[in-house]
Structure 1
Amino acid sequence: MLDSPRPTPSVLGVAIPSPLRRLFDYRPDGPAPADGWQPGLRVQVSFGRRQVVGVVIECRDTSDLPLDKLKPIDARLDDAPLPADWLWLCRFTARYYQHAIGDTLQNAMPALLRQGRSLTPRTRERWTATHAARDDAPPELSRAPRQAALLNMLQQHAHGLVTQAVLAQSFTREQLKALVNKGLIERHEEPMTGGQQPQGAVLAEPALPLNGEQAAAMARLHAGLDTFHPCLLHGVTGSGKTEIYLQLIEAVITRQRQALVLVPEIGLTPQTLERFRKRFQCTVVALHSGLTDNDRLDAWEAAASGRAPIVIGTRSAIFTPLARPGAIIVDEEHDGSFKQQEGLRYHARDLAIIRAQHHAIPVVLGSATPALESLQHATAGDYHHLRLTQRASRHAPARLELVDLRGRTRQGGLITPVLEAITTTLNAGHQVLVFINRRGFAPTLACHACGWLAECDHCDAHMTLHRQPPLLACHHCDHRRPLPDACPDCGSADLRPLGSGTERTEETLAERFPDTPVHRIDRDSTRRRDALEQTLTEVRRGEPCLLVGTQMLAKGHHLPHVNLVVVVNADAGLYASDFRALEHSAQLLEQVAGRAGRSAHPGRVLVQTLHPDDPNLRLLAARGYDALAEQLLEERRAAGLPPFRFLALLRLESPAEQDVSSLAESAATATRAFIEHSELDIECLGPVPAPMERRQNRYHMQIMLGADKRSRLHAACAQLIAWMEAEPGARRVRWSLDIDPQTLS
């Protein structure tokens, strides 16, 4: 029996791209879709003086306004709704992060969908030889040698060739049409992405053998393929976590399901894609900000339709719809890049957990240095804790060797014993990685006569000295200005760089080792497309060289010929005011140390520090990240900090200091009154200036809320948002609420 059509509703609740946390009611004028009006359909509507693309969220028969006062829908853009799993995730995200649903949907869909483009795949032509075409060229082609050559080429490819590949061999469309007319080849139209799916074996190359720990981890993962199955894959760097990902994905694809893999940085995507495409005989698509709008929509649609069994992407790829979800993998799950720091401040790792629970599928969080939140979940038994303690190279991970900087003369940030260790390593034919988490030539420029420091005119920050090109730049607001000829305070010409950045260290090493290539890898040197991958490809050839880089180099790159890692200054992040600073610094040090000794030779890690007696640094050096993390968890428990307490941070900013200060005080007072009236166990701290109070000529303040239970925290946040939206003074101030903030800056 056929289903009866849905009745046409009187009102459509539409999510509009705006910061307003509500739906807007419209009349569903015009013909209804074949399956009736339903949530997930995109519509074009008039909103104020603009025409915007919105998404239907509710279909109902009532409105707070008279029905005849509602604006009609101007156009319906879809015949079928956007994927249901995508819409569910967006609605959850908006609710949990207390964000406007319209803005959430905008963030979660490709740009072309936001502009009204249809969710239909772009297509291309594929040409294949017919059964009528014999192995040899038919006699009628004896006088058409180019047609015969074209037919022969297509006969060599069982799945045929696309038009672009044919034309690249100097054949023409006229020759293709001539062979079609003779019945020797056929033309097929297929989607641009995921159009040709190989049949038969899943693997293009065999899986690698697993050691005992890897095999035990795989057995645990196989046992939970049909359930919500959160696992923390806690393995030292080089222990073969990626091989476990690959074998898990093989099992998922064999069951006709799809796998979503999240990586923290665009820079990791090419190497991950290459490894996955070599292993599997199926479509692997990427989703990240470096794609064109067309390519991004093609990949999104291929995943939504199920033609792409493997999806690899950065943070925003968590919103990729999947027709048959089978597993989610979050590589380097501790990485701060998974947290969006502006606008919709979601955490992709946390959404991966929620999404896996919704679909009842396994989720794997992989890291050598797990976030304390993940470690606590594993300790409490919420996650399966899968440990990998052995490296594939059979060498133990290199321990940190603390090098005392006190009283030592530095050249480009490096002291003599460290330079000698670099010389020894290069002479042995190995590579050296010099890690300095500060780009530019020097942290700032100083006057040696009066002590003047180059400060940003728009921020409470020093300007960084750059040599390529020569200028002063603020890394917080991107303000730039030329180098001064003399000190603006005293007129002295004795201006000197203060401290070292990647450019200065690169210059020093190039002078000391003139016959050794020096590769600098930071945000400035890798702006050109594919620059990072080209450099890493050259490095992986194995010739002795020096790599100088920021944390871009610490994140998951396999550098098999690096045997010495030098950390120029380990102190920068250890003593920051943020309570997560030590955790993040320890993770970074351990990750960069993991680049050493990943092949045949044991590695060495030299860590320069002005505080070699610091107990936390000594614990990290002596016993590794796990021991320090255990201590930090006890300290967090005693202090009532995450992961034992839940936080939300209200950020306020304005060009007028009085406006932001006055509003922050009023908001805190209103929040405390609500807490007292509701008798909830919630803490309200502040308002206080942000760690950098003035940034981009705007004054920043913040209010912190803390609670032992999420439900209580969310109730207080909802009240605070309602107060802010109703407060006239809030219209002169930019503000945002950050649920589960990962940084206080």
Structure 2
Amino acid sequence: MAAETTRVIRVAVPVPLHGMFDYLVPSNVAIAVGMRVLLRFGRRHLVGIVMACDVTPSVALDKLRPVERCLDESPLLDTALLKLLRWTARYYHHPLGETVATALPAALRRVDAAADASRNRGWQAVSEPAVDAETALTRAPRQREILATLRTAGQAIAQATLVARFPTAARPLAQLAARGLVEAVTLPGGLERGHEGPAPALTADQSDALTRLRDVEGFAPALIDGVTGSGKTELYFRRMADVLASGGQCLFLAPEIGLTPQLIERVRARFDAAIGVLHSARSDGERADVWRAAAVGDADIVIGTRSAVFTPMPRLGLIVVDEEHDGSYKQGDGLRYHARDVAAKRAQDAGIPLLLGSATPALETLHNAQSHRFAHLRLTRRATGAAMPAIRVIDIRSRPLDGGLSDPLIAALTPHIEAGNQVMIFINRRGFAPALACHDCGWIAPCERCDAPMTAHAGGRRLICHHCGEQAAAPQACTACGSTQLLALGAGTQRVAGALRSRFPHVTIARFDRDATARKGRLEAQLADVANGTTQLMVGTQMLAKGHDFARLTCVGVLDVDGGLFSADFRATEHMSQVVTQVAGRAGRADRPGEVWLQTRNPDHPLLHRLLAGGYAGFARAALAEREATALPPFGYLALLRAEAHDSQQPHDFLAEAAAHVPAGGELACWGPVPAPMARRAGRYRAQLLLHAGTRAQLHPILDAWQAVLPKLPLARRVRWSIDVDPQDLL
């Protein structure tokens, strides 16, 4: 390819190497920043994003390769989003190519992906069905229910939405279509249309907060710090309505897909707007459709989980981060970004409002509010006027437990069940039991690839490692002494649910954990059964702890709060206080008073007393004082360098070489290298090195230097290593 007939472009390539790479394109090919190109990198074909055109080449032209082809007719990523991605790569010290790839849905990262979005199937009721077409529906209640839903909507509904609401909808829809009662339609871009609904009257707290929110223009971060049930969502909706009325788009982030079904229904019932949903439960094609619809401005509202923060939206006018404290916003591998913090940067760049909402704000967010970087809006009363539930402690020392349940807890929840109310049992541990042990010699069934016991599932008949996924049948006898006296120790959601079924055989019980809700549509179906009162007793993990509004729920039992009291992670007490407060907040939200019972072996622990006496606000005041005294976040800044390898010594040697490049005697502290709290995971040995600084200005120059030095260290290719800026989990 001759020099005079080519142009040089600079491309972000999705490989674990810092920097960008130069490629050639013919001069007659229309190319622009933000477009995808198919290129050859080494022996692989990859999809890269053009970051600059007509650049001065870094090497001689004859050393450059031409791109295979351009995949787009116009840019997929605009200038503002590319600027945000460059900042994200710099701040989190992650390769730019992999960072940019994170912003693309999986379907658009594949080398065989077509540029055109697929079309989304929907259904609508036939306006003039054939005479007597509905006669056969007398004995088809599900068909009648789906038909009524479509007629009430008065417009097409996406098939994915119908299946989420009615998990077995595919067959009834086909039967309705055969009878001429409904018809399939094409919905562009994977979007669906909501309809304008009534807005409830505001409380005095809400009205004051809304006035303050509307009085500020431009970049205006605000923390809505409201007790559970205080109406934070209504404030989001009022500000979203303002932005939509002015022609803007709204980005709404939720921490987990478990919260999205109920949220989507509320948004659909409130806004006459084009709504798109982005989360991992949707197919690659569905996510690509919504992403592209948002990018061209067709989506008015985008609701999504963590990665939706990178969705291109040319008319973006507001970002909402609900349950901003939630750990799900922090990516645990690859690009270890925090979606809340990226959202703040994106709102700042765009000069738009940012709303952060929580009943239990992260201490970093509270500190920003107390330092007047964020507006601090408090909602101290529930919107319905309902009282907050009473919280009591059950001392389970020396008490027998049946499937993790104490007799006082059973006695406490029984009247609620007999009264026809709903009860929730929270235990943040799935499976049947945390370990299988030998009664005679104390042997515990280990994971052969991790320094952790296997978790017993299915009544103790199967063992699964929750860290690496290894599975095995439970042994019939102890492998150490041969005894057949094997016992399942402790309790998980399966065991608790089984114990409740034996105690309350005539009550419908639903289990909410990753195992029970794995099948597509299962979570939505179970939540619908709770909402309509079919399910009276719920047992679940953190997916039940936040965001849900169960009007009939009057009693909550928390089975194990002790784990957060004695953890090696300094954030554990904060997380425990948040979980307890959030779970407790599910009870008594309507016209029925609620109560909460905490089982513990440490009833005199000062943290519990502080939490019960002063609520989360009292805990947060004391915790912030402790953090300031120890210079821990938000009064200090951390970065964690992790390394792992099949050889036990190599991670430590690599980290020691990295530590040698940290200047001694400065204000930056270097702790380690030390073994990770779980020193072996998935067959690899793990170690870590922690950097601590008083300011970001002290910390990031060292990370910049590491970015250049670490790949050149002798062991860099023999270990798997990563930098985690602002780590949320030190374990």
Normalising by structure 2, report the TM-score.
0.90
1:13 is matched with 10
**Residue of 348, 361, 370 corresponding to 1:357:** 348
1:738 is matched with 724
1:712 is matched with 698
Cα distance in structure 1, aligned partners of 2:102 and 2:247: 29
Residue correspondence of structure 1 range 519-530 to structure 2 within 5 A: 519-530=510-521
Residue correspondence of structure 1 range 177-216 to structure 2 within 5 A: 191-194=188-191, 204-216=196-208
1:661 is matched with 652
1:609 aligns with 2:600: yes
**Residue of 258, 274, 291 corresponding to 2:282:** 291
The amino acid of 2:470's aligned partner reads H
Structure 2 residue matching 1:728: 3-state secondary structure: coil
The amino acid of 2:679's aligned partner reads E
After TM superposition, give the deviation of residue 307 of structure 1 in Å.
Answer: 1.1
**Residue of 86, 98, 104 corresponding to 2:93:** 98
1:88 aligns with 2:83: yes
1:592 is matched with 583
Structure 2 residue matching 1:624: 3-state secondary structure: helix
Q: Is the 8 A contact 1:119 1:301 kept in 2?
A: no
1:439 aligns with 2:444: no
1:308 is matched with 299
**Residue of 217, 235, 246 corresponding to 2:209:** 217
Cα distance in structure 1, aligned partners of 2:692 and 2:155: 61
Cα distance in structure 2, aligned partners of 1:383 and 1:204: 31
The amino acid of 1:86's aligned partner reads L
Segments of 5+ residues of structure 2 without an aligned counterpart are 130-150, 160-172
Q: Is the 8 A contact 2:508 2:534 kept in 1?
A: no
Cα distance in structure 1, aligned partners of 2:251 and 2:469: 35
The amino acid of 2:525's aligned partner reads Q
Which has the higher mean CA deviation after the structures are superposed, 398-407 or 264-273?
398-407
Cα distance in structure 2, aligned partners of 1:158 and 1:543: 24
Residue correspondence of structure 1 range 499-578 to structure 2 within 5 A: 499-542=490-533, 545-578=536-569
1:79 aligns with 2:73: yes
After TM superposition, give the deviation of residue 161 of structure 1 in Å.
Answer: 7.2
**Residue of 29, 42, 47 corresponding to 1:32:** 29
After TM superposition, give the deviation of residue 555 of structure 1 in Å.
Answer: 2.0
Q: What does the per-residue CA deviation read over 1:216-267, in whole Å, with 9 as the maximum and x for residues that have no partner? A: 111122222x410100000000111111111111111001100000001011
2:107 is matched with 112
Cα distance in structure 1, aligned partners of 2:475 and 2:128: 76
Residue correspondence of structure 1 range 88-487 to structure 2 within 5 A: 88-116=83-111, 117-123=113-119, 169-170=177-178, 191-194=188-191, 204-224=196-216, 226-467=217-458, 470-487=461-478
Cα distance in structure 1, aligned partners of 2:107 and 2:483: 56
Normalising by structure 1, report the TM-score.
0.88
Q: What does the per-residue CA deviation read over 1:293-314, in whole Å, with 9 as the maximum and x for residues that have no partner? A: 2111110011111111100000
The amino acid of 2:506's aligned partner reads D
Cα distance in structure 2, aligned partners of 1:157 and 1:237: 31
Q: What does the per-residue CA deviation read over 1:306-339, in whole Å, with 9 as the maximum and x for residues that have no partner? A: 1111000000100101020110000000000000
1:620 aligns with 2:602: no
After TM superposition, give the deviation of residue 8 of structure 1 in Å.
Answer: 9.2
1:142 is matched with none
Structure 1 residue matching 2:569: 3-state secondary structure: coil
The amino acid of 2:723's aligned partner reads L
1:728 aligns with 2:728: no
Cα distance in structure 2, aligned partners of 1:298 and 1:124: 8
The amino acid of 2:631's aligned partner reads G
Q: Is the 8 A contact 1:429 1:544 kept in 2?
A: no
2:621 is matched with 630
After TM superposition, give the deviation of residue 616 of structure 1 in Å.
Answer: 0.7
Cα distance in structure 2, aligned partners of 1:294 and 1:404: 52
Paired residues, what number?
Answer: 688
1:22 is matched with 19
Structure 2 residue matching 1:690: 3-state secondary structure: strand
Q: What does the per-residue CA deviation read over 1:431-480, in whole Å, with 9 as the maximum and x for residues that have no partner? A: 11111111111111111111111111111111111126820111111111
Shift in CA distance, 401/159, structure 1 to aligned 2, threshold 3 Å:
closer
Rg (Cα) greater in structure: 1
Shift in CA distance, 197/417, structure 1 to aligned 2, threshold 3 Å:
closer
After TM superposition, give the deviation of residue 29 of structure 1 in Å.
Answer: 2.2
Cα distance in structure 2, aligned partners of 1:572 and 1:111: 37
After TM superposition, give the deviation of residue 27 of structure 1 in Å.
Answer: 1.6
Cα distance in structure 1, aligned partners of 2:373 and 2:240: 23
Q: What does the per-residue CA deviation read over 1:154-173, in whole Å, with 9 as the maximum and x for residues that have no partner? A: xx99999799999964599x
After TM superposition, give the deviation of residue 60 of structure 1 in Å.
Answer: 3.9
Shift in CA distance, 565/61, structure 1 to aligned 2, threshold 3 Å:
closer
Cα distance in structure 2, aligned partners of 1:136 and 1:698: 65
The amino acid of 2:16's aligned partner reads P
Structure 2 residue matching 1:299: 3-state secondary structure: helix
1:498 is matched with 489
Cα distance in structure 2, aligned partners of 1:705 and 1:163: 49
Q: Is the 8 A contact 2:279 2:305 kept in 1?
A: yes
Cα distance in structure 2, aligned partners of 1:519 and 1:158: 29
Shift in CA distance, 168/76, structure 1 to aligned 2, threshold 3 Å:
farther
After TM superposition, give the deviation of residue 52 of structure 1 in Å.
Answer: 1.4
The amino acid of 2:21's aligned partner reads F
Cα distance in structure 2, aligned partners of 1:661 and 1:638: 31
Cα distance in structure 1, aligned partners of 2:547 and 2:179: 43
After TM superposition, give the deviation of residue 124 of structure 1 in Å.
Answer: 7.7
Structure 2 residue matching 1:688: 3-state secondary structure: strand
1:181 is matched with none
For the aligned residues, what is the CA RMSD? 2.7
Which has the higher mean CA deviation after the structures are superposed, 395-404 or 255-264?
395-404
Shift in CA distance, 119/245, structure 1 to aligned 2, threshold 3 Å:
farther
The amino acid of 1:96's aligned partner reads Y
Cα distance in structure 1, aligned partners of 2:174 and 2:406: 59
After TM superposition, give the deviation of residue 38 of structure 1 in Å.
Answer: 3.2
Shift in CA distance, 127/641, structure 1 to aligned 2, threshold 3 Å:
closer
